[in-house]
Amino acid sequence: MSKKQKLELTWIGKDHRPRLEPRILLEDTANSHHAPHRVSENDIFDNRLIKGDNLLALKALEQEFTGKVKCIFIDPPYNTGSAFEHYDDGIEHSLWLSLIRERLELLKRLLCLSGTIWITIDDNEVHDLKILCDEVFGRSCFVSQIVWRSTDNSNNDAKQFSADHNYILVYAKDSNWHPIPQPGDQGKRGHFKNPDNDPRGLWFDGNPLNSPKRRPNLTFDLIAPNGNAIKPPKNGWRWSRETISEKIETGEIRFSADFTGIRRRTYLADMKSLPPSSLWADIEETGHNRQAKYELKNLFPERDVAQLLGTPKPEKLIRRIVDLATLPGDLVLDSFLGSGTTAAVAHKMGRRWIGIELGGITEAVEWKAGGGFRYYRLAPSLLTQDKWGQWVISSEYNREMLAEAVCKLEGFTFAPSETVYWQQAHSTERDFIYTTTANLSHDQLQQLIEEVGPERSLLVVCSAFRGRTEGYANLTVKKIPNTVLSRCEWGKDDYSLKVENLPKAPPKEGQIDLFGKEEA
């Protein structure tokens, strides 16, 4: 393989791509939650909790939130063969990859330039997922594969090895991304101690740094108290003889017990920040799965935790990620919200958030603190089949819903004018769209031409019209539903991670079926 070639993962059905309908979101005010008063000036009220298929929900968010999300955390089904109440977690590798790939591509579009995505996964799919993420985000945007100690108690019944960890794959939108420094977190690092009550505080003992390049004036011997000559490193010492003598006087540099070398104390107080480790083994710092179940049980004391979610993630783990990836006010997204932990943690930390959940577990984010969230559900499919099998506009759509849905299909920003009825949305300052179920006549279109004027343009989407549709200088006329029939998979509401929800992969030319016949 040449250096220019890249590793590409292939699987059965990879070329099949669903044609997602860009649904609109309908607010359910009865399930929205807003604090009765502000607790602080930084309270955030416009968070979003969305109930529905998460792939369709991500598509619904695409137009408004592309390039705006700072941190994405997802805990997708691990494809372990274990069945949970809210989704089927046992999927053949190729099917699982197809469904994950669609979500990753939408999530990438939602990330801002300084954004990152954090994906928890275990041994079953981590290697294939790593290659898939390299394809979607770019191999140069890979940040780290974190090993997280996910249990505080090894499995004594394991036949081979006790699986005590999960992984967190981290990718950035920009390859130059760096984690946010965490100076307040450094005191938790185990290698900083103070056994002799050094007044300068916590420290760790290490070898003095040598000079980055060879400098003859720094290649001198140090004479220990017992007269032993200590040779310099290959490139010489980092400091001059005078500076080293001063550091010996202050105790920052000490001779080893046998006087054959020197040691240098590095003080925590002198460190601006430490790079985060890729090994998250301190359960006091990042929690573990059993702790997460305790947290969930406190929220739902009357419910069986196992029925709520198989492996919820602890708040400490989410907080660690949010600390490294965001600042207050940044937008956090979790499209596999489950128990609501990500939303709860983001809210407590003063971050804006969007959560997508299918199982209806909304109580987890009904906190008593300040701020709030708006609860949305996906609108039904715009088109439905009548009793004759013809595609028609769903009767559940009123005029405003229809106008907003068509705007998404045509790429317009929905912003109805309060004074001009045909200005329902815009793509530029001079380009508008008008959707109506009326049967428009030539005279009505002619009137629109005059109102729009020569300096503006208008896309007219109607259910029917009389006369010609071409030759209007500033109008484009389209008929719905005919103009959108081929764009989407209408009437499909479930793209969840289940085998039965994927279409059968089309046979290749000359492929033999199970009965030995060549398929066309």
Residue pLDDT tens, the chain, 520 long: 454 556 678 888 888 889 999 999 999 988 888 765 555 555 667 899 999 999 999 999 999 999 999 999 999 887 665 534 444 555 567 778 888 999 999 999 999 999 999 999 998 889 999 999 999 999 999 999 999 988 877 777 778 888 888 999 999 999 989 998 876 554 456 677 888 888 878 888 776 666 666 677 888 888 888 989 988 887 888 888 888 888 888 888 888 888 888 888 877 777 666 788 899 988 878 876 665 455 555 555 555 544 445 567 888 899 999 999 999 999 999 999 877 889 989 988 889 999 998 764 444 444 455 678 889 999 999 999 999 999 999 999 999 999 999 999 999 999 999 999 999 999 999 999 999 988 888 888 889 999 999 999 999 999 887 766 566 788 999 999 988 999 999 999 988 765 444 445 444 454 433 333 443 3
> According to the model, what pLDDT value does residue 95 have?
78
Has residue 504 been placed in a domain? Answer: no
| 410 and 464 share one domain | yes
205, 265, 274 from 186: Cα distances, Å = 16, 16, 7
| 360 and 388 share one domain | no
DSSP code of residue 26: E
> According to the model, what pLDDT value does residue 189 have?
61
* Predicted TM-score (pTM) of this structure: 0.76
> According to the model, what pLDDT value does residue 36 have?
59
> According to the model, what pLDDT value does residue 297 have?
57
Could you give the number of structural domains in the chain?
A: 3
Owning domain of residue 323: 28-181+294-378
Asked if residues 121 and 2 have their Cβ atoms less than 8 Å apart, the reply is: no
> According to the model, what pLDDT value does residue 502 have?
47
Has residue 2 been placed in a domain? Answer: no
Has residue 14 been placed in a domain? Answer: no
Has residue 283 been placed in a domain? Answer: no
Asked if residues 92 and 500 have their Cβ atoms less than 8 Å apart, the reply is: no
| 89 and 106 share one domain | yes
Has residue 502 been placed in a domain? Answer: no
Could you please report the per-residue DSSP string of 358-386? SS---GGG--SSS-EEEEEEEPPPSEEE-
> According to the model, what pLDDT value does residue 142 have?
97
Has residue 288 been placed in a domain? Answer: no
Q: 147 is written with which tokens?
A: 């090993």
> According to the model, what pLDDT value does residue 435 have?
95
> According to the model, what pLDDT value does residue 50 have?
94
> According to the model, what pLDDT value does residue 204 have?
80
| 134 and 205 share one domain | no
| 60 and 97 share one domain | yes
DSSP code of residue 489: -
